Amino acid sequence: MDPIVELKNLRVEFHAQNSGSARKVAIKDLNLKIGAGEVFGFLGPNGAGKTTTMNVLLGFLQPTSGSAFLFGVDVREPIARQRIGFLPESTYYYKFLTAEELLRFYARIFGIPRAVADERIDRLLSLVDLDAARKRTIKTYSKGMQQRVGLAQALMNDPDLLILDEPTSGLDPLGRMKVREIIQRLKNAGKTVFFSSHELGEVETVCDKVAIIHQGELKVEGRVADLMAKHQANLEKIFLDIIGYQPPLAA
């Protein structure tokens, strides 16, 4: 079966700021495959290259070399994004729109017929607990509500692949639990979820597979259960070992 997400020898280089002509390698020859129905956690410390990888997958950034595919289609083709949903980190949606208008706007982008869009908007707003606030403009929303409306927009086209960039960042425990529930529900529905997170406990709970990236290099990839069995440790310990974290010596 064809993978849903495929990265082949992906390399991304940037002109490093304040260092003349030197180039910073953000991603070093990354190879990754994500199969249908998997919940895949993409882990790494800040600056490891997680978001850069997602930017390439979404067509926001051209790779220096290598290629990336969604559903077997090169990510440079806009049609590759027809069946995906994306939740960027900390987005402030059009504050002059209501949640309902925002979702209707995205429905129009996908060309979803009015009746289907109406039904889907109702369902998504109740899924993310924004039914009561659907007629309020987004400028009156709290950060958690904004994140939830973001999750609803990512699901508007009933995507087969959901890409989430730190979906629980800035959320309170209740909001995090809600996001976890939604990911679990998507998994049960056979959807593929690719997400980055710093919440390792959460990743351990919901992910089938994880990849740990550090300084642009893929350090480890595998099933969560297999990794934990192999290293005889939880995901947090494995993560810290892989990135070379040395705990301070006790006095």
Partner 1 sequence: MNAIMAIAGVVIKELYRRKDFYVLFVLTAVVTLLLASVKFFDDRNIVRYLKEICLLLIWISALVIAITTAARQIPAERENRTLLSLLAKPVTRGQFIIGKFAGCWLACGFSLVVFYSFFGVVSGSREHSFALPQFLQAFWLQWSMLGIVVALALLGSVVFAAPSSNGTICFVVVGGILLLGRHLNQVALRLPEPRRTLLYTLYFLLPHLEWYDVRDLVVYDQPPVRWAACGLAMLYAGVYTALLLYAAWLVFRRQALNQ
Residues found near partner 1 in the complex (CB under 8 A): 51-52, 54-55, 58-62, 78-79, 81-82, 84, 86-94, 96-97, 101, 105-106, 108-111, 137, 150, 153-154, 157, 163, 165
Residue placing its CB nearer to partner 1 in the complex, 113 or 247: 113
Q: How far apart are CA 224 and CA 149, in angstroms?
A: 30
User: Which tokens hold the place of 225?
Assistant: 């259960």
Residue placing its CB nearer to partner 1 in the complex, 154 or 238: 154
Q: How far is the CB of 93 from partner 1 (least distance, A)?
A: 6
Q: How far apart are CA 179 and CA 148, in angstroms?
A: 8
Q: How far apart are CA 130 and CA 61, in angstroms?
A: 33
Q: How far apart are CA 49 and CA 64, in angstroms?
A: 14
Contacts of residue 30, defined as CB under 8 A and 6 or more positions apart, other chains included, come to: 7, 9, 10, 11, 49, 53, 66, 213, 216, 217, 218
User: Which tokens hold the place of 92?
Assistant: 């402030």
Residue placing its CB nearer to partner 1 in the complex, 96 or 250: 96
Residue placing its CB nearer to partner 1 in the complex, 87 or 99: 87
C-alpha distances (whole Å) from 129 to each of 89, 124, 126, 148, 177 are: 20, 8, 5, 8, 13
Q: How far is the CB of 109 from partner 1 (least distance, A)?
A: 5
Q: How many residues does the chain have?
A: 251
Residue placing its CB nearer to partner 1 in the complex, 118 or 241: 118
Q: How far is the CB of 172 from partner 1 (least distance, A)?
A: 21
Q: How far is the CB of 81 from partner 1 (least distance, A)?
A: 5
Residue placing its CB nearer to partner 1 in the complex, 54 or 218: 54
Helix spans in 25-172 (H): 50-57, 99-110, 114-127, 143-154
- Could you tell me how far CA 167 lies from the centroid of its own chain? 7
Q: How far is the CB of 231 from partner 1 (least distance, A)?
A: 31
